């Protein structure tokens, strides 16, 4: 890449090169682009052809960034509420006043009720993921940092499972991203098959994987196996599709393993040397013969056998696992089975297989280490940590469902102050029964919200609103997989300033300097990033700006050379030093050490009587190009493309129910109901419907009780609280039961 | 005016329906809401047989498309081609693109706007 990252143009404008992250949201993919500024306004966003991963490509969420940055509804100054909660009455204040008020409140709650009475809520995916932990642990000083999704069901389970089974950071499809010469790199191989399990990477918001790399690899010969309850577009370009019943995934994975093990298609050398518990595992898969699995999953027996064979025989083969692993109370066992699938077929840490990173690196490591600011007895008060060791060992947060219980009961202690960073969770983003959270959160006495727009959550709870800058407006470092598999680190360069916004790290530093000055020595974000980068990589933030991005390269088969374990011995960084097909930790925590299928809490098979009343299986949350969770609904160009919340329904089912394309319908079950527009499509099974998540209506009345129409199409009101797995992970977002009827109005 | 004898090749095997061409083009030509220089069309999914589905997206350039004459003059790709997530578009002389179509063999189209 060119060294010059900021250029003056002849017409008086200037152009800044950057790698995108958030806000507006996406996960750390770090797409390369050039931002042109004229007279203080972002006038143009253009893809950067020099960026080795995205090569100029850019999705419409970035292409419409000027509409977002200069949106008339954006909040660009600190505000304090001057009316009652839920009233749209605010007054602009200075950062000094905001910080003075906040510090006074923090000190008050600490002195009178203990630091643990303060809780930080963080949203998914945005850059805030690196900073809301330090905000809680080291700027505020509370052990209670919460990601409020039932069963922590987004990314965290996959990371935890990998930590326990492989002793590694996030396992990612090897798309040659680590190498500057990419697909031309001499060691890299084209995956012969790529299996995408509960993941549609083109539209979804990957954590370090540029989704259209799948297309790059298809053009180079990779064949695709899709495992998904919906026929999505990528399924139509795939070699094989396993269209399974939502929530039956673990049975399907075990069925594939049954074939691979019994037909001896597995990598014997790898199993012999690097896997623990193969005999027990082999015995367990005998419970999942393809004919039985076909009945459970609705996938034909022949397809299961065929796919097992082609996947096992492909060298190399890769696997991308998606949110469907997390959003399932049986998901830990699914994740375990899928890691076994890639291990047994010899595809871990090999070219064109699965890459693995360290459990944490750079800012990803720092964010966890900041908890040493807390004395041990305070850390012990972290909500739900003792009850759910499988969650609290890998993740430094509270247990989300226990947190709702605490808010409702005041036990083991009352939570009094809330800080919401980039989390709009009364909208149908991540919490189950957001209506219940909404009622419970009323008990918080003082709340701070950091965001860019007045969201339903901010309107309901904020006493102080702190405006965040977009990624065009602040310095940062994009770290793919939050450091759990750092395929590259990219420079995010501030191109302009809008109002008086401060980034996550700037707020952490500013607040930290007031409360714990000794651990916050930095005077700017750039200084902080230099200190993070230099010791590990040998260059500072300014040098990263000049490089554009840094790809570290990749060493394959690290397990052979002692590069995965902290003690330098060969093997994996697990209890047994091997890939644990038999999990010693799951056993220690009271779960089965081997994967098993368990029916979803509500399904045609687990609750047949209820299913008579609610005969359809509901799956939710497939992605659209036009939004990131609850974001982007106020961006005119994007909203014109996806104007309404859609439910996909099969033509046969629709006809039976008297529903036509474009009709408004009510989706309802035992827990709640939501209003959606029907999209009649044969791509969904007649017994299944799919509903979109994230919907609220920025154009509607802001004030209580309307809150931007947040309760109208709130699909998460149909999802019950605390329907989690034995280890504390999972929810019902991908599989619950419902009925659908035509709306009266 | 679009450069004479030049066109846009669309590999609709890999057009993923991302709308980047539409939006990048609107930005480039500074078009208001409701006007397009290229518009994404969808052939909605239907089943060919038990195994195979047909589902195609294809962006169609409109009368407002000038094949990004200014960008091309500066040595850049047309905005739609640069931003296409599937890298399913190509700009060039019609004869050259026709050869590429023949080489590709399936699911490929050319527009001369």
Average pLDDT over residues A531-558: 96
Residues A578 and A683 in one domain: no
Establish if A415 belongs to a structural domain: no
pLDDT at A565 over 80: yes
Q: Which residues of B touch A237 (CB under 8 A)?
A: 13-14
CB contact under 8 A, B47 and A682: yes
DSSP state of A482: G
How high is the pLDDT of residue A446?
98
Distance CA A432, CA A723 (A): 9
> Are A615 and A541 within one domain?
no
Cβ-Cβ contacts under 8 Å, A233 against chain B: 16-17, 45, 55, 57
Mean pLDDT of A723-727: 98
The CA distance from A406 to A415, in Å, is 7
CATH number at residue A696: 2.40.40.20
Q: Is B39 among the domain residues?
A: yes
Alpha-carbon span A150 to A613, nearest angstrom: 25
Closest partner residue to B55 (CB to CB) among A59, A211, A233 is A233
pLDDT digits (tens, 9 = 90+) for A458-506: 999 999 999 999 999 999 999 999 999 999 999 999 999 999 999 999 9
Burial of B4 (0-12, 13-18, 19+ CB in 10 A): exposed
Task: Quickly state the pLDDT bin for B2 (edges 50, 70, 90).
Answer: confident
Mean pLDDT of A545-558: 96
A326 inside domain: yes
The upper half-sphere exposure of residue A585, i.e. CA atoms within 13 Å in the direction of its Cβ, equals 26
Asked if A46 lies within 8 A of B16 by C-beta distance, the reply is no
Q: Domain range spanning residue B29? A: 6-111
Nearest to B16 among A46, A60, A233 (CB): A233
Are residues A55 and B85, on separate chains, in Cβ contact within 8 Å?
Answer: no
Q: CATH number, domain at A256?
A: 3.40.228.10
- CA torsion B101-B105-B107-B113 (nearest 10°) is 20
Positive or negative torsion for Cα A385, A391, A397, A401:
negative
Nearest chain A residue to B14 by CA distance is: A215
**Residue A582: is its pLDDT beyond 90?**
yes
In angstroms, what is the C-alpha Rg of chain B?
A: 14
Residues in B closer than 8 angstroms to A682, CB to CB, are: 45-47
Question: What one-character DSSP code corresponds to residue B2?
Answer: P
Give a yes or no: residue A718 inside a domain.
Answer: yes
CA dihedral (A530, A531, A535, A538) in degrees, to 10, reads: 10
**Hey, which residues does A90 pair with through a beta bridge?**
A81
Same domain (yes/no): A705, A579: no
Q: What average pLDDT is seen over chain A? A: 97
For A55, the token pair is 């090569």
Neighbours of B62 (CB within 10 A): 14
Q: What is the CATH number of the domain that holds A23?
A: 3.30.200
> DSSP string covering A132-143, please?
HHHIIIIII--S
Q: Which of A56, A70, A238, A650 to mutate to test the interface with B (most CBs of B within 10 A)?
A: A56
Stretch 14-43 of chain B: residues touching chain A, C-beta under 8 Å: 14, 16-20, 22-24, 26-27, 33
Nearest to A236 among B55, B82, B86 (CB): B55
- What mean pLDDT comes out for the span A22-49? 96
In terms of domains, do A222 and A315 share one?
yes
pLDDT at A25 (0 to 100): 80
Please state the rounded mean pLDDT for residues B62-90: 97
- Minimum CA–CA partner of A625 in chain B: B18
A648 vs A681: CA distance, rounded Å: 6
DSSP label at residue A158:
H
Which residues does chain A have within 8 Å of residue B19's beta carbon, measured at their own beta carbons? 60, 625-626, 641
pLDDT tens digit sequence for A646-691 = 999 999 999 999 999 999 999 999 999 999 999 999 999 999 999 9
> Does A201 contact chain B (CB < 8 Å)?
no
Q: What is the mean pLDDT of residues A359-376?
A: 91
As a dihedral over the C-alpha atoms of residue A360, residue A365, residue A368, residue A369, rounded to 10 degrees, the angle is 130
Tell whether A394 is covered by a domain. Answer: no
Same domain for A546 and A644, yes or no, is: no
Q: What pLDDT does A361 receive?
A: 86
pLDDT band (50, 70, 90) for residue A732: very high
Structural domain that includes position A306 = 171-355+567-588
Say yes or no to pLDDT of A205 above 80. Answer: no
B1: in domain: no
User: Cα separation of A259 and A312, whole Å?
Assistant: 10
Comparing alpha-carbon positions, the chain A residue that sits nearest to B80 is A57
Task: Flag whether A517 is in a domain.
Answer: no
pLDDT of A537: 94
The verdict on A655 and A712 lying in the same domain is yes
Whether residue B53 and residue A681 make contact (CB cut-off 8 A), yes or no, is no
Residues of A in contact with B53 (CB under 8 A): 231, 235-236, 683
Element (H, E) at A32: strand A32-38
- Give the pLDDT confidence score for residue A134 in this predicted structure: 97
* Binding-face residues of A in 226-255 toward B, CB within 8 A: 231, 233-237
Domain count, chain A: 3
Identify whether the C-beta of residue A207 lies closer than 8 Å to the C-beta of residue A481: yes
How many Cα atoms sit within 13 Å of B74 on the Cβ side? 7
Does A665 share its domain with A579? no
**Cβ pairs bridging A and B (under 8 Å):** 89
Which pLDDT value is given to residue A360? Answer: 83
The pLDDT of residue A26: 87
In chain B, residues with a C-beta closer than 8 Å to the C-beta of A49 are 77, 82
Subunit contact A44:B27, Cβ cutoff 8 A: yes
- HEC assignment per residue over A331-395: HHHHHHHHHHHHHHCCCECCCCCEECCCCCCHHHHHHHHHHHHCCHHHHCCCCCCCCCHHHHHHC
Answer whether B8 touches A (CB < 8 Å). Answer: no
The total number of residues shown for chain A amounts to: 745
- Confirm or reject contact between A85 and chain B (CB < 8 A): no
Check CB contact under 8 Å for B82 and A231. no
Number of H helices, E strands in chain B: 4, 5
B26 is a domain residue: yes
Peptide bond into A412 cis (omega under 30): yes
In a domain, A217, yes or no: yes
B104 touches chain A (CB under 8 A): no
Token duo for residue A193: 């098959």
Interhelix angle A434-441/A400-409, nearest 10 degrees: 50
* Residues A121, A457 contacting (CB under 8 angstroms): no
CA pseudo-torsion sign A696, A702, A706, A707: positive
pLDDT tens readout for residues A425-447? 999 999 999 999 999 999 999 99
In this prediction, residue B51 has a pLDDT band, given cuts at 50, 70 and 90, of confident
A48 and A17 share one domain: yes
Q: Could you tell me if A673 and A615 lie in one domain? A: yes
Residue A706 and residue A631 share a domain: yes
- Average pLDDT (A8-13) is 97
- Residue A123, by phi and psi: left (phi above 0), alpha (psi -120 to 50) or beta? beta
Length of chain B: 113
A57 to B24: CB separation less than 8 angstroms, yes or no? no
Shortest distance between the Cα of B22 and any Cα of chain A, in A, equals 9
- Overall average pLDDT of the A231-244 stretch: 98
Cα separation, A416 vs A410, in Å, equals 10
**How far is it, in rounded angstroms, from Cα B56 to Cα A552?**
38
Contacts of A15 in chain B (CB under 8 A): none
Is residue A199 assigned to a domain?
yes
- A103 interface with B at CB cutoff 8 Å: no
Contact (CB, 8 A) for A17 and A34? yes
For residue B55, give how far its alpha carbon lies from the nearest alpha carbon of chain A (Å).
Answer: 7
Q: Which residues of A touch B68 (CB under 8 A)?
A: none
Tell whether the torsion through CA atoms of A134, A139, A142 and A146 is positive or negative.
negative
Which distant-in-sequence residues (6+ apart) come within 8 Å of A137 by Cβ? Answer: A143, A145, A370, A371, A373, A374, A396
Output the pLDDT for position B1: 62
Q: Are residues A14 and A51 in the same domain?
A: yes
Q: How many domains does chain B have?
A: 1
Pair (A621, A710) in one structural domain: yes
Q: Find the helix packing angle between A504-515 and A95-113, rounded to 10°.
A: 60
Give the tokens for residue A306. Answer: 């065929």
Residues A392, A393, A395: CA angle, nearest 5 degrees: 60
Structural domain contains residue A594: no
Q: What CATH number has the domain bearing residue B76? A: 3.30.70.20
Provide CB contacts within 8 A for A342, sequence distance 6+: A171, A317, A318, A319, A348, A353, A354
- pLDDT surpasses 90 at A359: no
Q: A592: buried, middle or exposed (CB in 10 Å: 19+, 13-18, 0-12)?
A: middle
Contact A56 B77 (CB under 8 A): yes
């Amino acid at each position: 890449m060119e060294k010059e990252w900021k250029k003056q143009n002849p017409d008086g404008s200037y152009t800044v090169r950057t790698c995108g992250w958030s806000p507006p949201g996406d996960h750390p993919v770090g797409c390369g682009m050039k931002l042109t500024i004229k007279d203080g306004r972002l006038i143009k966003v253009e893809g950067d052809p020099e960026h080795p991963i995205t090569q100029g490509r850019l999705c419409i969420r970035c292409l419409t960034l000027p509409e977002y940055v200069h949106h008339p509804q954006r909040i660009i100054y600190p505000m304090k509420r001057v009316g009652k909660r839920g009233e749209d009455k605010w007054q602009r204040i200075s950062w000094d006043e905001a910080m003075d008020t906040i510090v006074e409140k923090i000190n008050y709650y600490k002195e009178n009720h203990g630091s643990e009475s303060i809780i930080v809520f963080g949203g998914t995916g945005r850059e805030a993921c690196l900073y809301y932990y330090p905000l809680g642990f080291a700027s505020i000083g509370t052990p209670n940092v919460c990601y409020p999704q039932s069963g922590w069901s987004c990314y965290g389970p996959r990371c935890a499972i990998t930590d326990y089974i492989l002793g590694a950071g996030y396992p990612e499809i090897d798309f040659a991203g680590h190498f500057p010469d990419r697909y031309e790199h001499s060691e890299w191989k084209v995956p012969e098959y790529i299996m995408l399990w509960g993941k549609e990477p083109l539209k979804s918001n990957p954590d370090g994987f540029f989704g259209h790399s799948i297309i790059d690899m298809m053009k180079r010969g990779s064949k695709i196996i899709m495992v998904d309850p919906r026929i999505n577009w990528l399924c139509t370009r795939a070699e094989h599709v396993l269209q399974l019943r939502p929530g039956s995934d673990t049975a399907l994975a075990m069925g594939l393993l049954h074939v691979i093990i019994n037909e001896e298609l597995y990598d014997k050398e790898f199993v012999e040397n690097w896997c623990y518990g193969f005999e027990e595992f082999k015995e367990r898969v005998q419970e999942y013969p393809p004919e039985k699995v076909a009945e459970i999953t609705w996938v034909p027996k022949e397809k299961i056998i065929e796919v097992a064979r082609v996947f096992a025989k492909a060298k190399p083969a890769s696997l991308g696992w998606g949110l469907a692993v997390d959003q399932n109370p049986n998901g830990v066992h699914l994740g375990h089975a899928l890691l076994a699938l890639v291990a047994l077929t010899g595809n871990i840490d090999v070219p064109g297989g699965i890459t693995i990173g360290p459990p944490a690196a750079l800012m990803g490591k720092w964010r966890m280490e900041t908890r040493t600011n807390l004395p041990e007895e305070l850390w012990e008060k972290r909500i739900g940590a003792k009850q759910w060791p499988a969650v609290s060992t890998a993740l430094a947060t509270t247990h989300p469902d226990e947190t709702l219980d605490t808010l409702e009961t005041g036990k083991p202690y009352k939570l009094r102050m809330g800080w919401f960073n980039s989390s709009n969770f009364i909208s149908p983003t991540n919490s189950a029964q957001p209506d219940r959270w909404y009622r419970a959160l009323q008990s918080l006495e003082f709340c701070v919200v950091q965001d860019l727009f007045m969201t339903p959550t901010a309107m309901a709870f904020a006493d102080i609103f702190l405006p965040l800058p977009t990624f065009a407006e602040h310095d940062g470092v994009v770290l793919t997989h939050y450091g759990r598999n750092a395929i590259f680190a990219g420079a995010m360069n501030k191109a302009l300033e809008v109002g008086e916004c401060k980034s996550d790290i700037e707020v952490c530093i500013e607040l930290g300097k007031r409360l714990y000055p000794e651990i916050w020595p930095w005077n700017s974000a750039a200084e902080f990033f230099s200190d993070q980068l230099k010791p590990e990589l040998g260059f500072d933030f300014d040098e990263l700006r000049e490089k554009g991005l840094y790809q570290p390269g990749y060493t394959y088969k690290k397990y052979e050379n002692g590069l995965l374990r902290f003690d330098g011995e060969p093997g994996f960084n697990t209890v047994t030093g091997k890939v644990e097909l038999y999990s010693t930790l799951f056993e220690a925590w009271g779960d089965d050490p081997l994967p098993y299928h368990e029916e979803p809490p509500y399904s045609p098979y687990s609750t047949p009587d209820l299913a008579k009343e609610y005969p359809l299986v509901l799956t939710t949350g497939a992605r659209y190009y036009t939004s990131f969770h609850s974001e982007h609904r106020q961006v005119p160009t994007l909203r014109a493309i996806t104007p309404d919340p859609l439910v996909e329904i099969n033509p046969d089912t629709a006809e039976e129910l008297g529903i036509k394309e474009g009709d408004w319908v009510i989706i309802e079950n035992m827990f709640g109901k939501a209003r959606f527009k029907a999209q009649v499509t044969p791509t969904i099974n007649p017994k299944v419907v799919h509903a979109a998540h994230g919907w609220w209506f920025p154009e509607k009345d802001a004030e209580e009780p309307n809150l931007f129409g947040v309760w109208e199409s709130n699909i998460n009101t149909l999802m019950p609280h605390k329907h989690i797995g034995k280890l504390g992970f999972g929810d019902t977002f991908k599989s619950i039961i419902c009925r659908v009827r035509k709306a009266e109005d | 005016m679009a450069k004479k004898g030049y066109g846009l090749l669309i590999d609709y095997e890999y057009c993923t329906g991302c709308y980047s061409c539409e939006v990048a083009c609107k930005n480039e030509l500074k078009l208001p809401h409701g006007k397009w220089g290229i518009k994404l069309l969808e052939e909605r999914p239907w089943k060919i047989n038990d195994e195979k589905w047909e589902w195609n997206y294809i962006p169609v350039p409109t009368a407002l498309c000038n094949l990004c004459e200014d960008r091309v003059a500066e040595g850049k790709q047309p905005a739609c081609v640069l931003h296409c997530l599937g890298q399913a578009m190509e700009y060039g002389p019609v004869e050259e693109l026709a050869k590429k179509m023949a080489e590709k063999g399936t699911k490929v189209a050319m527009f001369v706007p």
